[in-house]
């Protein structure tokens, strides 16, 4: 992928690896399950809490990007 990035963008981002090492697990293992659970819950207090937790996890996963 680095070769393709050099060809298309004429350079390599040194921070991309560290950013992806943090963001991908947070999104995959925290945000997506919370979003799926929130979509399956009927409207209740738990519903709102799950959406809030998912939103917070997305924010934490992308604040350095």
CA atoms 24, 29, 35, 40: torsion sign: positive
Phi-psi region of 42 (alpha: psi -120 to 50; beta: other; left: phi over 0): beta
pLDDT in tens, 26-64: 888 888 898 898 888 877 778 888 889 888 888 876 765
Longest dimension (CA), the chain: 50
pLDDT of residue 3: 83
Average pLDDT over residues 7-26: 82
Q: Is the pLDDT of residue 7 over 80?
A: yes
pLDDT of residue 45: 76
What whole-number distance in Å separates Cα of residue 25 and Cα of residue 15? 16
Average pLDDT over residues 10-33: 83
Is the full-model pTM beyond 0.75?
no
């Amino acid at each position: 992928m680095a070769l393709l990035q050099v060809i298309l963008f004429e350079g390599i981002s040194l921070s991309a690896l560290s950013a992806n090492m943090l963001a991908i697990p947070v999104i995959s293992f925290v945000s997506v399950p919370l979003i799926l659970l929130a979509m399956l819950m009927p409207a209740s207090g738990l519903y709102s809490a799950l959406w809030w937790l998912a939103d917070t996890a997305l924010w934490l996963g992308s604040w350095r990007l």
